[in-house]
């Protein structure tokens, strides 16, 4: 199943929206977007790579977005430098499902002194704590909980059962998927006579503008100050971000990543799925951390690391190949020893003979 | 604590239910099922392995399920080829807690044109979106959210706070544990001038019949088409299934597994806990992936793999043992070099002498 | 942002509360607690380590908790043996946000025969199943679900959307963060003719006194008997605890840890983030498991293990260093072989010559 709009848009409007050059008829109506395989005649599809040209020829799509116009093609083509990007822009603007109806469900419960912007959509079973402030056109799906003194910026969407606890701040145009928890207590204790005494977690969480957080992400509040996810960063499902972590701008954190307390990331850092970072590290701008890595030391800007514990990625790949040559290496070591034993014996014998 | 029924069932009825041969008195009433250790006189317990016979003798259970009748045993015994299987069938049919009362709570909120089968149980704070369709005898625990155009098949149970988003389809006799999210957006972006532009996720999720999903599982909707979990597959807690993944029939996915986008699994695949699979792989039927593995290449049918990156499991086990022999190997290498140095010196000296 | 109280407390009261020695003026009013960097003039801050003395000098904090009094310091100082512990005690008692207002929201739904202690706080959209019993001063945030026959002890706090299923028992002074699920079914099946037959999970979960569980933790109910987390244990976010696991007293389980079925932990066990433990193991008292480990065999009391599969931690660290020396070792091996080849040739030639 792929969602489709019912109202067509003329192809020339779509071409203009991405400043693409239109080749072919401009009045064809587009009613949906799709992959090459799944497309039907009303659909616009994209040719992401040159090696997909044959597939594009066979596709039933009514129109194509391409980097190079396909010669002899009868269908309209939008020519742009980055077809996937143009596709994403067109799909986002014209072919996504309509947002939930505006209005406030009678089954929502509000504390005192809440402040609610215009044109919001607040579903049933939503709770707003005292002094919560939500901006214009915010969407709160059913079951969302906003604690006291929370702030949610304009055009932000919180999916069902998202929990934002006391004092946390969510920016504008943020999307948070279902079940994610913002502002649970950081994991801090001090041992005293064999017991763990809780260190109160008195800070908050700040999620800046244009961030997207997946489903079941957890972002803990800071001990003091703020745990921060900066502008434009995208976080996949089931990621754990501990207290006082700072994630820089435009980072990518893939599913099931865990970042321990007070570690800071620069901007444009990419972390592969299931990687873990210990506490109090700094990861430089544009660094890349391979999936499944265990990072235990600082990572420089632009560095690529992998492995548990993580080292330079190229080094790691080389070592991993050799690990599986260990049986062979050990065999060789034994052979060399045997040969050496024999040589030594031989020499000793010959020395004796001479003597 | 172990749950017990209050209404006894005669042992001969239970024997018949699993086509077992009954040895001993047939009118004994059974009021519960239990392990050998925990059983009391009204309980039926099972002897899973031959080495548990002594424990069975000592058990206070009132009756036993066995593969071989225990000689001289006074208690009734149900003799079957697979005692654990017979036990599971009897326990499922006769000794599980009653389902929640049928009916629809007045605190549930329904959109327009919803379609609800007979004998459902819908708890308080449930939300059904427009055009949601739910089958006969479905149980929706409190706080369940079903988005618009969702479908839930007959006899399916959704535990508290399960979220099924727009357009997703859940089969019949499916169980989904608390907090699980079906249909969150796939994690897809295209970079443009240093920013991450979202690729709209327009597909859905299909969970086929007889699937069980644990608590806090996340299954992302497809970019186009469907993310699919096929008939009979069982998924443990906190598993992440990315967009466009296809999980085949009768698979087992243990807790905290992560499967990246577009990877497909055949049927009867088993994946151990915390394993991760990168995107666009194919895992063949009956393949086994060891716990904690990081799979970065295709896996053939019936293959067993392990390690990060995953290789043939036997190879991996062998290498892992040798890794810890590395200090010893290095020491040996140094010794060989020293001996070789000495030999060469000796030979050079003797050559010089001769000269 | 750091939370601050509006009502000041005289410093001598705080000193007394932790049996600290007060140096300097005793009537200074303290209105908050903070880190050295973030402190303002009304704040009490702590000097956790001797090397922070310079930072303490520069800090704007109005008063300090110290292990050694800073000479020549004008500000009041509380002198104690463990400043962080004293700080945690003072912050917990005097400077944490007030708990939610007492009372029962009209939007909560109760089953029959529930039993509710005095001075509770029950938020909107809370569901209590039949015969649920909750103690004095319990706080149930919005959206909490307590199944039938559940028990919650005095002074316990359950954050939004926490789910406690049928028959599970939560102790006194327990804190459970948002979204956590207690009592989902254990993951147990028996294969029969290629299908997975569910083994009913008839036990429960017991969370003892003074436990804290993070957000999105999952604790499965036992097949028979109880899955248990014992007194004083602290569990971070996204940890998975399978059926029939027993976690001992005063353990620390860091984020994203997974523990498979029937594994038991002694007391004071510490497990680093993302570690995984297979089923049916025993981990001794005071054992430590490094972050990211994969534990596949029993661990003795006091032992420290690491790696996948986990071995003695010192052994593992040594091997990991050498893994990255493998390219060098292989090169050396080849050089030795070449030298040996040459020696053998040389000797053979000289032997031939002699002959």
Catalytic residues of A: 243
Residue A1 lies in a domain: no
> Are residues A305 and A347 part of one domain?
no
Q: Which residues of C305-327 are buried (b: 16+ CB within 10 A; e: fewer)?
A: bbbbbbbebeebeebbebbbebe
- Whether A180 and A237 map to the same domain: the answer is yes
Q: Say if C51 falls within a structural domain.
A: yes
- Looking at chain B, which residue has its C-alpha nearest residue A317? B309
Indicate whether A83 belongs to any domain: yes
Which residues of C are catalytic, by number? 243
Distance (Å) of CA B182 to CA A179, B177, C244, C283: 11, 11, 28, 36
Task: Among B94, B117, B140, give the residue marking a domain's end.
Answer: B94
Calculate helix-pair angle for B313-323, C313-323, nearest 10 degrees.
100
**Same-domain pairing of B36 and B73:** yes
User: Domain check: are B37 and B128 in the same one?
Assistant: no
Contact A339 C344 (CB under 8 A): yes
> Cβ of C332 and B337 within 8 Å?
yes
The verdict on a CB contact (< 8 Å) between A185 and C177 is yes
Average pLDDT of every residue of chain A: 95
Tell whether C167 and C309 lie within a shared domain: yes
CATH (domain of C116): 2.160.10.10
**Residues B202, B84 share a domain:** no
* DSSP 8-class letter at A206: E
Q: What is the CATH number of the domain that holds C69?
A: 3.40.1390.10
Please tell me the predicted confidence (pLDDT) of residue B1. Answer: 73
Strand order in the sheet with B252-253: B103-104, B121-122, B139-140, B157-158, B175-176, B212-213, B234-235, B252-253, B270-271, B288-289, B304-306, B311-312
Strand partners, C259: C241, C277
Q: What is the 3-state secondary structure (H, E, C) of chain B?
A: CCCCCCCCEEHHHHHHHCCCEEECCCCCEECEEECCCCCCCCEEEECCCHHHHHHHHHCCCCEEEECCCCCCCCCCEEECCCHHHHHHHHHHHHCCCCCCCCEECCCCEECCCCEECCCCEECCCCEECCCCEECCCCEECCCCEECCCCEECCCCEECCCCEECCCCEECCCCEECCCCEEEECCCCEEEECCEEEECCCCCEEEECCCCEECCCCEEECCCCCEEEECCCCEECCCCEECCCCEECCCCEECCCCEECCCCEECCCCEECCCCEECCCCEECCCCEECCCCEECCCECCCCEEECCCCEEHHHHHHHHHHHCCHHHHHHHHHHHHHHHHHHHHHHHHHHHHHC
Cα–Cα dist A221/A205, whole Å: 5
Domain co-membership, B107 together with B256: yes
pLDDT in tens, A165-199: 999 999 999 999 999 999 999 999 999 999 999 99
Paired tokens of B197: 């532009």
Return the active site residues of B: 243
- Is there a domain that residue C162 lies in? yes
C-beta of residue B1 within 8 angstroms of C-beta of residue C203:
yes
Q: Is B209 on the interface with C (CB under 8 A)?
A: no
Q: Report d(CA A62, CA A75) in Å as an integer.
A: 6
pLDDT in the model for residue C6: 67
Q: Which of C45, C65, C94 is the last residue of a domain?
A: C94
pLDDT above 70 for B272: yes
The pLDDT of residue C197 is 97
Chains in contact with A via at least 3 Cβ–Cβ pairs below 8 Å: B, C
pLDDT over 90 at B112, yes or no:
yes
pLDDT at C93 over 90: yes
Task: Tally the residues of chain A.
Answer: 355
Q: What b-and-e string marks burial along A250-287, b requiring 16 or more CB atoms within 10 Å of the CB?
A: bbbbbbbbbbbbbbbbbbbbbbbbbbbbbbebbbbbbb
List, for residues C233-277, the tens digit of each pLDDT value: 999 999 999 999 999 999 999 999 999 999 999 999 999 999 999
* Set of chain B residues whose Cβ sits within 8 Å of the Cβ of A33: 200, 202
Q: Are A151 and A129 contacting, i.e. CB atoms less than 8 angstroms apart?
A: no
Nearest to A2 by CA among A45, A53, A39, A49: A39
Inter-chain touch C109–B92, beta carbons under 8 Å: no
- Whether the CB of B353 is below 8 Å from some CB of chain A: the reply is no
Please name every residue paired with A182 in a beta bridge, in sequence order, or none if there are none: A164, A219
- The partner residue sitting opposite A339, judged by closest CB among C2, C333, C340, is C340
Q: Is residue A24 within 8 Å of residue A75, measured between CB atoms?
A: yes
B212 lies in the same domain as B345: no
Q: Is C350 helix (H, G, I), strand (E, B) or coil?
A: helix
State the smallest CA–CA distance between residue A199 and chain C in angstroms. 5
Contact residues, chain A, for C329 at CB < 8 Å: 329
Neighbouring C-beta atoms of residue A37, cutoff 10 Å: 13
pLDDT at B299: 98
Residue B294 near chain C (CB below 8 Å): no
Which one of C35, C323, C337 has the shortest CB-CB distance to A319? C323
User: Is B202 an 8 Å CB contact of chain A?
Assistant: yes
pLDDT tens across C6-41, in order?
678 999 999 999 999 999 988 899 999 999 999 999
Among A184, A258, A308, whose Cβ lies nearest the Cβ of C215? A184
Helix (H) or strand (E) holding C289: strand C288-289
Specify if C50 maps to a domain: yes
What are C34's two structure tokens? 């903070």
Stated as kind and residue range, the H or E segment containing C128 is strand C127-128
CA–CA gap between residue B132 and residue B149 (Å, rounded): 5
Quick check: is C2 in a domain? Answer: no
Compute the count of residue pairs across chains B and C with CB atoms less than 8 Å apart: 203
In the predicted model, is pLDDT for residue C347 greater than 70?
A: yes
How far out from the chain centre does Cα A19 lie? Answer: 28
- As a whole number of Å, the end-to-end CA separation of chain B is 92
Measured between alpha carbons, how far is residue B34 from residues B64, B292, C200, C216, C223 in Å?
A: 10, 32, 11, 30, 9
Which residues form the domain of A55? 9-94
CB contact under 8 A, C82 and A192: yes
Alpha-carbon distance B88 to B95, whole Å? 10
The CA distance from B79 to B93, in Å, is 18
Q: Using a CB-CB distance cutoff of 8 angstroms, which residues of chain B are in contact with residue A42?
A: none
Do residues B211 and B116 share a domain?
yes
Average pLDDT of the residues of chain C: 95
Residue A165: how many other CB atoms lie within 10 Å: 27
Number of alpha carbons in the 13 Å side-chain half-sphere of residue A139: 17
Residues of B in contact with C315 (CB under 8 A): 324
Q: Does A236 touch chain C (CB under 8 A)?
A: no
pLDDT value of residue C170: 98
> Smallest CA–CA separation between A187 and chain B, in Å?
20
pLDDT, tens digit, 9 for 90 and up, residues B296-346 = 999 999 999 999 999 999 999 889 889 989 989 999 999 988 988 888 888
Selecting from A198, A315, A316 the residue whose C-beta is nearest the C-beta of C92 gives A198
Best mutation target among A158, A198, A221, A314 (most C Cβ atoms within 10 Å) is A198
Neighbours of A166 (CB within 10 A): 18
Residue C190: name the closest of B49, A180, B217, B1 by CA. Answer: B49
Joined together, the tokens standing for residue C148 give 């039938």
Nearest C-alpha neighbor of A323 from the set C307, B63, B39, B88: C307
CB-CB contact of A316 with A300 (8 Å): no
C353 and C262 housed in the same domain: no
Lowest mean pLDDT among A275-289, A311-325, B16-30, C336-350: C336-350
ipTM of the complex, rounded to two decimals: 0.95
CB contact under 8 A, B184 and A161: no
Task: Compute the CA torsion angle C226, C231, C233, C236 (nearest 10 deg).
Answer: 60
> How would you classify the pairing of strands C169-170 and C204-207?
parallel
Tell if the CB–CB gap between A3 and B167 is shorter than 8 Å. yes
Comparing alpha-carbon positions, the chain B residue that sits nearest to A268 is B194
Q: Which residues of B touch A159 (CB under 8 A)?
A: 163, 165, 184
Per-residue model confidence (pLDDT) at position C49: 86
Instruction: Tabulate helix, strand, coil % of chain C (nearest 5).
Output: 20, 30, 55
* Smallest Cα distance from C69 to chain B, Å: 48
A223 secondary structure, DSSP code: S
Residue C3 lies in a domain: no
Contact C85 A198 (CB under 8 A): no
Count of structural domains within chain C: 3
Residue of chain A with shortest Cα separation from B307: A320
Q: Which of B142, B98, B137, A179 lies closest to C167 in space, CA to CA?
A: B98
Q: Does A276 touch chain C (CB under 8 A)?
A: yes
The domain boundary residue, chosen from C49, C66, C94: C94
Mapped onto helix, strand or coil, the DSSP state of residue A189 is strand
- Share in percent of chain A as helix, strand, coil (round to 5): 20, 30, 55
pLDDT at residue A283, as a whole number:
98
- Tell me the torsion sign for CA atoms B318, B319, B324, B329: positive
**Please, which pLDDT band fits residue A6 given cuts at 50, 70 and 90?**
low
Contact C181, C167 (CB under 8 A): no
Contacts of B349 (CB under 8 A, 6+ apart): none
Q: What sign for the dihedral angle of Cα C299, C300, C301, C306?
A: negative
Phi, psi of A163 (to 5 degrees): -120, 120
Residue of B178, B320, B326 with shortest CB distance to C322? B326
pLDDT digits (tens, 9 = 90+) for C165-178: 999 999 999 999 99
Closest to C218 (Cβ–Cβ): which among B124, B238, B324? B238
Residues 6+ apart with CB under 8 A from C195: B232, B250
One domain, residues A194 and A333 = no
Both B63 and B107 in one domain: the answer is no
Which pairs count as long-range contacts for C293-298, CB under 8 Å and 24+ apart, including other chains? C294/B274, C294/B291, C294/B292
Q: How confident is the model at residue B6 (pLDDT cuts 50, 70, 90)?
A: low
Does residue C226 register a pLDDT over 80? yes
What is the model's pLDDT at position B343? 84
d(CA C48, CA C64): 10
* Among C184, C200, C326, beta carbon nearest to B178: C184
Per-residue confidence (pLDDT) for residue A342, from 0 to 100: 87
CB contact under 8 A, B88 and C190: yes
Cis, peptide link before residue C174, omega less than 30° from 0: no
CB A247 within 8 A of CB A265: yes
Closest residue on chain C to B270 (Cα): C196
DSSP state of C36: T
User: Among residues B237, A217, A218, B98, which one has the least CA distance to residue C227?
Assistant: B237
From B181, B196, B346, residue closest to A347, measured CB to CB: B346
Give the pLDDT confidence score for residue B7 in this predicted structure: 75
Mean pLDDT of the region C41-53? 91
For residue A108, tell me if it sits in a domain. yes
Q: pLDDT, tens digit, for every residue of B35-75? A: 999 999 999 999 988 889 899 999 999 999 999 999 989 99
CA distance C115 to C351: 100
Q: Do A161 and B163 touch (CB under 8 A)?
A: yes
Which residues from C are below 8 Å from B256, CB to CB? 240, 256, 258, 276
Q: Is A29's pLDDT higher than 80?
A: yes
Distance CA A349, CA C145 (A): 86
Q: What is the C-alpha separation between C197 and B19, in angstroms, rounded?
A: 16
User: Is the CB of residue B195 less than 8 Å away from at least one CB of chain A?
Assistant: yes
Half-sphere exposure of C146 toward its Cβ, with a 13 Å CA cutoff?
35
Q: Is C258 on the interface with B (CB under 8 A)?
A: yes
Paired residues of C277 in beta bridges: C259, C295
- Cβ <8 Å between B203 and A3: yes
């Amino acid at each position: 199943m792929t969602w489709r709009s019912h109202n067509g848009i003329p192809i020339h409007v779509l071409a203009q929206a991405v400043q693409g050059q239109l080749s072919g008829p401009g009045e064809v109506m587009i009613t949906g977007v799709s992959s090459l395989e799944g497309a039907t005649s009303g659909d616009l599809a994209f040719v992401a790579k040159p090696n997909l040209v044959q597939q594009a020829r066979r596709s039933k799509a009514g129109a194509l977005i391409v980097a190079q116009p396909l010669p002899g093609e009868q269908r309209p083509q939008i020519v742009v430098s980055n077809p996937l990007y143009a596709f994403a822009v067109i799909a986002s603007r014209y072919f996504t499902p309509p947002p939930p109806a505006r209005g406030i469900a009678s089954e929502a419960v509000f504390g005192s002194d809440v402040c609610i912007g215009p044109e919001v959509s607040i579903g049933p079973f939503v709770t707003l704590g005292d002094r919560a402030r939500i901006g214009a056109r915010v969407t709160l799906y059913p079951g969302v909980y906003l604690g006291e003194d929370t702030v949610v910026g304009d055009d932000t969407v919180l999916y069902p059962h998202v929990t934002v606890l006391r004092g946390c701040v969510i920016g504008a145009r943020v999307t948070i998927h279902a079940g994610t928890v913002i502002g649970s207590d950081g994991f801090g204790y001090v041992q005293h006579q064999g017991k763990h005494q809780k260190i109160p977690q008195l800070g908050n969480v700040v999620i800046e503008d244009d961030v997207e957080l997946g489903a079941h992400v957890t972002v803990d509040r800071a001990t003091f100050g703020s745990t921060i996810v900066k502008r434009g960063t995208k976080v996949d499902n089931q990621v754990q971000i501990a207290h006082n972590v700072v994630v820089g701008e435009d980072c990518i954190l893939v599913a099931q990543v865990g970042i321990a307390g007070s570690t800071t990331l620069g901007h444009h850092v990419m972390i592969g799925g299931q990687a873990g970072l210990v506490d109090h590290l700094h990861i430089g701008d544009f660094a890349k951390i391979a999936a499944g890595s265990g990072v235990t030391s600082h990572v420089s800007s632009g560095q690529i690391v992998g492995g548990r514990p993580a080292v330079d990625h190229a080094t790691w790949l080389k070592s991993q190949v050799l690990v599986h040559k260990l049986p062979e290496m050990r065999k060789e070591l034994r052979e060399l020893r045997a040969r050496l034993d024999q040589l030594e014996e031989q020499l000793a014998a010959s020395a004796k003979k001479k003597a």
